[in-house]
Structure 1
Amino acid sequence: MDLTRRTMLRGAGALPLLAGGFAGNLSFSALAQPAAAPSAANEIPPVLFVHGNGDHAALWITTLWRMESNGVPRERMMAISFTDPLARTDDKVEQANRSSTEDQRRELGEAIKQLKQRTGAMRVALVGNSRGGYSIRNIVKNGGGADVSHAVLCGVPNHGIYQWDEGLGGEFNGRGPFLRGLNEGESEVTAGTAFLTLRSDGMDKYAQADGRFVGKPGVPTGITSDGPALKGATNLVLGALDHREVAFHPRAFREIYKFIAGKEPSRIEIVPEAGVRLSGLVTGAPGGVVTNRPVSGATVEIYRVSPETGERSGGPIHSSQTGADGRWGPAQVEPTWYLEIVLTSSGATTTHFYRSPFPRSSDIVNLRAARPIGSADAGADAVVLMTRPRGYFGLPRDVVLLDGKEPKDVKPGVPTDSTTTLRLAAEEVGRSVVAMFNTERIVARAWPASENRIAVAELTY
């Protein structure tokens, strides 16, 4: 069944304005596939979170924290990082450091097996964003359904990003063999697994009728905002959320938890821990292709910084070097500290990540060096990026300010940009730069580009 934004706005139970800057009323009276209602959090099936194209496990940090804040034990959850997260141009043609649909299905199958063994559970729930939903559907349809109790598909282009006669080998082509195989039959879901889709009310850049969002302006894609919905699933529309927010926003968390647990969450906010331990994986981009392959010999330093100036408060509170497994940490921090995380690795840009406080522990604080300083930065003596991994910048929907100005490289309308760049002259090197997105505020410092350094104000929400 489809529940539109208009239908939901007639319901009861308003959510307060949250970190992403949205408020709205969400309710529904019936589910096409009601999930079983466990009586306690530890009876919820183990949950495995699956990221999208080019992404990694860390995008699920806030979702994991919210799950924990509702009593779901940390050891009953997992977030996968696919080795090669980017799709091939043609699914059947090998490309260096890119994966096929079969590669993804195989890796997800191993992760399911690992989570089942760790928890002793017979079945697990899968939650995926974007391309991650393809691997979920693939494994459920092709022999793995007995292991999967719930499948939650968030912003998944289930009928393609486009439906064109050219490029039929691409997995995002709705006319190609991969998606036709998943969608064939009277029902588009697999019996025995409860399916939920979450989608945007017209603000998902990969569910648009015009091809301008995939490089062909004016060419019809054959796709509408209904593209992520599936026949036979419970299909919910979450309003003006973007392609990533339908997975990572507090609104999305409510629906994910409710569907799997069979009841409303007791809270949406993240409950801080008294002490926080952080660790993660350092990954690289060989040949300019982002991967989740470990980088050895990388140095990670962490500093506590002033929330007002970004200046360091003394020496490093943590320093470690990665081994063959690419792991860094653990670092012990306080849940109120603003941090600067410095990543130095051979042949890569030294990256100074400025972060809001981490309210809870995480072992998926994954780090990848910023892009190289390139021709677009010519004449700049410092480069500062503001990035939003769990959503896009929406203008005029959001408050987006970098150094006191609305960025000119963020396009208005349908949100498509998750990074904005500030370039500074020599006299401004070393000064503070304020990055603001709605209620989240991070202060970075401008480092000299001549030393191959970039500062990144990385938003959490």
Structure 2
Amino acid sequence: MTTRRHLFALAASSLLLAACATAPQGAGQPPIVFVHGNGDSASIWQSTVWRFESNGWPRERLHAIDLPYPLARDDDGKAQPGRTSTTEHMAYLKTEVDKVLKATGAKQVVLVANSRGGNAVRNYIQNGGGDKTVSHAVLGGTPNHGVWATQGFREANEFSGTGPFLTGLNAPKNAAGDEVAGPVKWLTIRSDNNDKFAQPDGLWIGAQGTPTHVTFEGPALKGATNAVLPRVDHRETSFSSAAFDTTYRFVTGQGPKTSTVVMQAPVMLNGKVTGLGLVPTDPASGSYPNNLPLPGAQLAVYATDPATGERKGPAVHGKTVGIDGLWGPFTAQAGVPYEFVISAPGYATTHIYRSPFPRSSDLIHLRAERIAAADKDAKSTVTFTRPRGYFDAERDKMAFDGKALPGVPPTGAGVSSSKIKLMEDGVRTIAAEFNGEKIVGRTWPTPENRAVVLELTY
């Protein structure tokens, strides 16, 4: 849309961002509050926080929120178990911002959001007093004009571009028709054409061949600085190194010293153990993610052999999770991969394999899994997951058990996990690779109610 100003490609973004941004005033760096998207958790900001720390941002001024029920309602105006309305989402964000302001003594925060998190940010700034407490707002991949914009189709949902929630947020704020409220400085980051939720065709919402009436420019906002990153997927609009570089320049007015994660020692790890809710009206229909602690869960951590995934001796850390859900702290060894094992009533024993950790983090959240009904005939099930991005067969170099990733389409980036069902007996090594990161695990038996996850860092 030619009326939206400051649309530019990554190659030109450095100069434009430096020109249009205002460096934060006052001593030190401003506190940043990170807001995750639909169904996600604070842990998704792990690598972004590391990048800010690698550029000298104090860890105590980097706060990622954990919305207890992170899924949007089907109908925003109707209560739905395990889901959060736009009003509840905004209220939670406001409470978290107030906590950060009190803890830091700052007068304002920077808000950085991905996807649905941007809806809460916009709602808070426009309707919840955030115009006074927020200096900069960065929205990565937020469907600001909807995932669909079809008159009469699911308009009570917050992702409807023709529904009351988004039309209210997008109403012109001035004679120029700006869609953002001042005096906050606004940045949107979008993909050129690879965001699954900014597509003219309804493929990724289960309506292939049906127009969504949304364009690739859907996340852009009139009156904001609108950055375009070539080929990034929906999550990479926030969690890629390019998104970090763009965000950093906008907030500070200058480029970062590095967009990579700088190694740190010692490495102290912590996070929450969470579970899955059941649909109360129909428990057989499946589970939904939440970010509630799972007290009573048992957590054990094992150092593993990077070539075979086998354990190198007894557990190096263990804990019974309390009401706060925290499983640490744990001092990890540099360069050592780990297996995290969660045991809890009502869940499969969940084996999560992770690459070596480059820095300390308290955002290493671990979720207990359940065996899906369709997988109970398998000898072993292994899920390869990329929380901070999607798999793109045309763009990425990847393999799972030496083969192409099951369930990943040949074009587009709309799948963030891949599952292998093994029908052979016995436990063996299984490996997955993605753009240079390799994770090696073991195929624990499904008949023993065990699930295996290989989780990427980047």
TM-score between both structures, scaled by the size of structure 2: 0.93
2:383 maps to 385
Identity of aligned residues (%): 45
SS in 1 for 2:30: coil
Equivalent residue for 2:226, pick from 218, 232, 235: 235
1:166 maps to 153
Contact kept in structure 1, 2:37 and 2:113, CA below 8 Å: yes
Alignment of 1:15-414 (within 5 A): 27-29=14-16, 33-36=20-23, 43-142=28-127, 143-164=129-150, 165-185=152-172, 186-287=177-278, 288-375=287-374, 377-414=375-412
Post-superposition offset of 1:30? 5.8
Residues 205/111 of structure 1: CA separation in 2 closer, same or farther (3 Å cut): same
Unaligned 5+ runs, structure 2: 279-286
Post-superposition offset of 1:3? 3.1
Post-superposition offset of 1:118? 1.0
Distance (Å, rounded) in 2 between the aligned partners of 1:268 and 1:199: 18
Post-superposition offset of 1:266? 0.6
Distance (Å, rounded) in 1 between the aligned partners of 2:430 and 2:365: 24
Aligned amino acid, residue 27 of structure 1 = S
Task: Name the Cα RMSD after superposition.
Answer: 1.4
CA deviations on 1:322-367 (whole Å, 9 max, x unpaired) are 1122121111112311000111111011111100111111112111
Contact kept in structure 1, 2:144 and 2:221, CA below 8 Å: yes
Aligned amino acid, residue 110 of structure 2 = A
Residues 31/90 of structure 1: CA separation in 2 closer, same or farther (3 Å cut): farther
Residues 81/412 of structure 1: CA separation in 2 closer, same or farther (3 Å cut): same
Aligned amino acid, residue 83 of structure 1 = P
Post-superposition offset of 1:37? 5.2
Contact kept in structure 2, 1:281 and 1:294, CA below 8 Å: yes
SS in 1 for 2:165: helix
Distance (Å, rounded) in 2 between the aligned partners of 1:312 and 1:127: 38
Distance (Å, rounded) in 1 between the aligned partners of 2:265 and 2:288: 39
Distance (Å, rounded) in 2 between the aligned partners of 1:155 and 1:169: 21
CA deviations on 1:425-458 (whole Å, 9 max, x unpaired) are 233x311011001110000100011111011110
Distance (Å, rounded) in 2 between the aligned partners of 1:320 and 1:95: 34
Contact kept in structure 1, 2:382 and 2:453, CA below 8 Å: yes
Unaligned 5+ runs, structure 1: 12-25
Residues 100/299 of structure 1: CA separation in 2 closer, same or farther (3 Å cut): same
SS in 1 for 2:227: strand
Residues 167/80 of structure 1: CA separation in 2 closer, same or farther (3 Å cut): same
CA deviations on 1:350-388 (whole Å, 9 max, x unpaired) are 11110011111111211111242322x253201111000
- How many pairs does the alignment contain? 440
Aligned amino acid, residue 54 of structure 1 = G
Residues 30/447 of structure 1: CA separation in 2 closer, same or farther (3 Å cut): closer
SS in 1 for 2:76: coil
Distance (Å, rounded) in 1 between the aligned partners of 2:223 and 2:28: 26
Aligned amino acid, residue 409 of structure 1 = G
Post-superposition offset of 1:321? 0.9
Distance (Å, rounded) in 1 between the aligned partners of 2:18 and 2:362: 35
SS in 2 for 1:443: strand
Post-superposition offset of 1:29? 3.3
SS in 1 for 2:346: coil
CA deviations on 1:376-430 (whole Å, 9 max, x unpaired) are x253201111000000000111012001001231112220111101121233x31
Contact kept in structure 2, 1:31 and 1:234, CA below 8 Å: no
Distance (Å, rounded) in 2 between the aligned partners of 1:128 and 1:135: 9
Contact kept in structure 1, 2:267 and 2:333, CA below 8 Å: yes
2:443 maps to 446
SS in 1 for 2:415: coil
CA deviations on 1:147-185 (whole Å, 9 max, x unpaired) are 000000000000000012221110000111000110001
Contact kept in structure 2, 1:373 and 1:452, CA below 8 Å: no
Aligned amino acid, residue 364 of structure 2 = V
Contact kept in structure 2, 1:387 and 1:457, CA below 8 Å: yes
Distance (Å, rounded) in 1 between the aligned partners of 2:16 and 2:93: 33
Contact kept in structure 2, 1:162 and 1:223, CA below 8 Å: yes
Post-superposition offset of 1:34? 2.2
Contact kept in structure 2, 1:2 and 1:237, CA below 8 Å: no
Aligned amino acid, residue 397 of structure 2 = V
Contact kept in structure 1, 2:14 and 2:249, CA below 8 Å: no
Aligned amino acid, residue 448 of structure 1 = P
SS in 2 for 1:28: helix
Distance (Å, rounded) in 2 between the aligned partners of 1:27 and 1:284: 41
Distance (Å, rounded) in 1 between the aligned partners of 2:290 and 2:40: 8
2:284 maps to none
Contact kept in structure 2, 1:373 and 1:449, CA below 8 Å: no
2:282 maps to none
Contact kept in structure 1, 2:301 and 2:341, CA below 8 Å: yes
Contact kept in structure 2, 1:86 and 1:99, CA below 8 Å: yes
Distance (Å, rounded) in 2 between the aligned partners of 1:168 and 1:48: 30
Residues 61/55 of structure 1: CA separation in 2 closer, same or farther (3 Å cut): same
TM-score between both structures, scaled by the size of structure 1: 0.93
Post-superposition offset of 1:52? 0.1
Contact kept in structure 2, 1:283 and 1:367, CA below 8 Å: yes
Contact kept in structure 1, 2:19 and 2:253, CA below 8 Å: no
Contact kept in structure 2, 1:33 and 1:233, CA below 8 Å: no
CA deviations on 1:247-288 (whole Å, 9 max, x unpaired) are 000000101111112210011121121111111111121111
Post-superposition offset of 1:241? 0.3
Contact kept in structure 1, 2:18 and 2:250, CA below 8 Å: no
Contact kept in structure 2, 1:204 and 1:225, CA below 8 Å: yes
